[in-house]
Structure formats: C-alpha cells, structure tokens
Amino acid sequence: MKILLVTPAFPPVGGSHMHRVLNLANYLSDLGNEIHVLGYMPNDDYPNYDKNSKKNILPKIKVWYSPEGILHRKLRKKVSYDSSFDSRNSKIKSLLNKRLQSLKKSLLIPDAMIDWLPEAIKYEKTNKILETVNPDIIISSSMPNTSHIIGYILSKKYNIPLVMDYGDPWSFEISTKRNKFRQTLEYRFEKKIVNHSKLIFVATEETRKLYIEKFGIDSAKIKTFMMGFNPINLPNEVQKNENLSMIYGGMLNPAHRNPLPFIQAFNSLKSNIDCKFYTDIPTLESLLRTENINNFKIELNDLIPSDDFMSKLQMNDVLILFGNSSPIQIAGKLFVYISTGKHILYIRNMDEDVTDPVIEILNEYGNITITNNTFDEIQSALMDLEYKKKAKQLSSINNKVINKYSWETQVISFYQDLRSIYSEDQ
C-alpha cells in the first residue's frame, strides 16, 4: 500500500506523540508499505526541537516538510529559563508564557497548530504531493487535531479513504476549557470528519467506548491502538549510587496530573533521596507560586530529547509516573518506563470508583509501587522505597509478558485492520 501520514508530530519535532507516529511509519514501512509523511519543519527556536530524532526515520520513508504557520513563524518566541527560581526576570517570563499558552488554547480552534493548515494545503498543492504519491490511504494523526482537518480536506479533494489516528481525544479532551458554543462547534466538526473516515484508531479502550457512545460509531469502525515501546537491553542490576535516586520526565499540567501532593510529601522527608524532574519549568514554577510552595527540594531541569532521557532513566532506581485524571488518556511514558525494567512509582490520580487502565498494565509488568495521590500515602511510599534501597531490594526485571505492548506488535495489528479497508476499496 501507499500511505500518506499527515502530522506535524514527526522528527525533528519532539515529544511523546512524535514517537507514536514515527514508530507507526517505521513499522508500516518494514511491513512493505510505501510511506510518505506530510510533516512540519519548525524553526530552530521551536521549544520542542529534537534534531537527533531525524536519524530514527527509516531511509525508505519520504517526508514532505511544509513550513510553519504564520503565528509560529512570526509571534512565537522560545521562553528561556532563568536558573534563579525567585528572580524577577524568571517570574515575568513565566507569567507571560502562561498567559500566551492560555490565550492560544482559548482562541485557536481546534488547537494552536491551526495556522499550519493553510501552509500544509498550499505546500501540497504547490508540490503536487497527492498527484505524485497517489496514496491508497491517508492517515491523519493527532495531536494536534488540526491534522484531522487537513487529512479530511485532502481526502475529500482527491477521493482517498481517510483513517483517523488519535493520540488523545479531540472535543472530549479535558485540559482545554470550552464554552458551550465552542464545545458544540468542535463536536459537530469532529463528528463530520469521524463520519467521513473509513477507520478510526484511539489510544485507550475507554476512549473507544466513549466515541461509540457519543458519535454512534459502529464498533467495527473504531479500534484501539495504544502507545508502545521499543525493546532495549539493560543490565539486571541494582544501581550503585548510595542514595535512592528517582526521576520524572514530561509535562505536569494539573488538569491531567497533579504533582503537588508528591512535592509536599517529598519536601517533608528528612532524607537524602536524589530526585530530578525534567519538565516545562515555567509552568511548574507558576503552579508552585500559585500554591505558595517555596520549599522545593527536587532538582529541576528542562525537557530534554528522548534519547537523552532514556539514558537518564537507566541511571536511576525508581521512575516516577503521575497518573492522569481520566481513563481516556494514558501517558506515553508509561510504555517507555516498562521497557526499562526499572521499579516504577505510580501515583494514581483518579477517583476510587473509576477503573484506571494504567494499573492493569503495571500489574502485568510487576516491578511497581502504587499509591493514591495523597500526602500521607506518598510519604509512606517514599519511606518504603528508601528502605528497599538500603536493603538492596530494588532491581531491574525482564518481564516478557509486556512484549505485547511493543510498537512492532501493535503496528502489526494496526496494519491488519488497515488492510481490511484497503481490500474493500479494490
């Protein structure tokens, strides 16, 4: 098959969703398909620019890089981080960045990448991509949801089947505040594209159930395609550092995952646990100021490229995983974490009566500590982990049961579903 993937989340753009689309493209190529990507070439000052990630694209894959949208070209300025936590300069930049991000989320529909739409359509027309490639299927992959709009436009224009791939839901995603008008507008627009599409993939079974209910989709039309991991080889040994070492990497948006109980519990301990966060520092600092948290013992670092972060994971005893507040989303880092064999501290962030899909996966994995997101429970879990470190009870494992979550296994299943709609159109 000839497949055109529509997404800006492709190297050198970094981030969790980039790994979903990159592995989808690579393994579909390995299965003998001709893969083209309508992607996005950001300027060097793009906040999530990962120049090393391009080396992971298989040589057979052709990437068509359209320019950034006008808002990103002209208005975006990368917010630099001043290492002085209380400096006036850092506070001003943090507040400005928070305000800018809030405005982008509230004013740009469906998301801040909407300015890429005219650039992508223009680039496709100028370079006659669809005429040159003549794909059998178009796959639009979100986030951002702008990808689905572009995929829909191209699908309608060239009469090519559209397949939608969701990393997160669209109109039901909880971190974007929508008034009634916007909620109705996005729902109707999403429903139009959903009805037009031939096949839909979502990242969790709960999202699949939600979409069947809300959009009246035939259950055969929507499939679950989770995030995944690439197997790695790790020595099965306890870390040699004397103190318990812990690490977290990724965004800490309170709408999804609330880090405050962990931070407060960690600050309360009179121990020498080595804990590092690799995150969006201005956003976290703003949250800490809002909650009047001044005592901060955790080492803060900026987000780093995925390859560098994987190396950091291997150097620590415990990997911290903050659970999402909704079962319709699973953090992609869960699958990265279980690929390491390391001990995982999972901080559950859902109500007790809600089924958390992450716990099912972690129980299959086995090397875990699970706690609710409360000060007392987290404090107790940290003390227990410190004891286990001293008793040399923390080690890596090799659990082959989790291989069903590898990217290769999941893309093979994805491809089998894709073949079914390709056969229908022949």
Residue 141: which of 162, 116, 115, 114 has the closest Cα?
162
Sequence-distant (≥ 6) Cβ neighbours of residue 87 within 8 angstroms: none
Average pLDDT for 48-65: 89
Is 65 in contact with 37 (CB distance < 8 Å)? no
- Alpha-carbon torsion angle 125, 128, 133, 139, nearest 10: -10
Question: In the predicted model, is pLDDT for residue 67 greater than 50?
Answer: yes
Alpha helix (H) residue ranges in 175-316: 180-196, 205-215, 260-268, 281-290, 306-314
Q: What pLDDT, on the 0 to 100 scale, is given for residue 285?
A: 84
Is 75 in contact with 107 (CB distance < 8 Å)? no
Q: Band the pLDDT of 328: cuts 50, 70, 90.
A: confident
- Owner of token pair 């098959």: 1
Alpha helix (H) residue ranges in 256-332: 260-268, 281-290, 306-314
Average pLDDT for 215-224: 95
- Alpha-carbon torsion angle 358, 364, 366, 370, nearest 10: 30
Average pLDDT for 138-158: 96
Q: Tokens standing for 262?
A: 């962990």
- Region of poorest pLDDT, from 118-132, 144-158, 235-249, 293-307: 235-249
As a whole number of angstroms, the distance between CA 348 and CA 324 comes to 8
Sheet holding 137-142, edge to edge: 62-66, 34-40, 2-6, 137-142, 162-166, 199-202, 222-224
Question: In the predicted model, is pLDDT for residue 237 greater than 60?
Answer: no
Helix crossing, 146-158 with 116-127: angle to 10°?
Answer: 30
Q: What pLDDT, on the 0 to 100 scale, is given for residue 251?
A: 84
Q: Which domains does the chain have, with CATH numbers?
A: 2-228+406-424 (3.40.50.2000), 245-405 (3.40.50.2000)
Q: What pLDDT, on the 0 to 100 scale, is given for residue 87?
A: 43
Question: In the predicted model, is pLDDT for residue 25 greater than 90?
Answer: yes
Sequence-distant (≥ 6) Cβ neighbours of residue 78 within 8 angstroms: 45, 46, 47
Q: What percent of the chain has pLDDT over 90?
A: 56
Is 236 in contact with 425 (CB distance < 8 Å)? no
Q: Is 235 helix (H, G, I), strand (E, B) or coil?
A: coil
Q: What pLDDT, on the 0 to 100 scale, is given for residue 242?
A: 83
**Backbone phi, then psi, for 138, in 5-degree steps?**
-110, 130
Alpha helix (H) residue ranges in 128-179: 129-133, 146-158
Q: What pLDDT, on the 0 to 100 scale, is given for residue 83?
A: 37
As a whole number of angstroms, the distance between CA 359 and CA 373 comes to 14
Average pLDDT for 343-368: 91
Count of CB atoms within 10 A of residue 420's CB? Answer: 11
Q: Band the pLDDT of 225: cuts 50, 70, 90.
A: very high
Residue 425: which of 86, 2, 30, 98 has the closest Cα?
2
As a whole number of angstroms, the distance between CA 423 and CA 426 comes to 5
Residue 233: which of 341, 368, 363, 394 has the closest Cα?
341
Average pLDDT for 221-250: 80
Q: Band the pLDDT of 290: cuts 50, 70, 90.
A: confident
Distances (CA, A) of 166 to 56, 135, 142, 227, 323: 22, 20, 5, 10, 19
Q: Band the pLDDT of 424: cuts 50, 70, 90.
A: low
Is 63 in contact with 120 (CB distance < 8 Å)? no
Question: In the predicted model, is pLDDT for residue 330 greater than 80?
Answer: yes
Q: What pLDDT, on the 0 to 100 scale, is given for residue 78?
A: 43
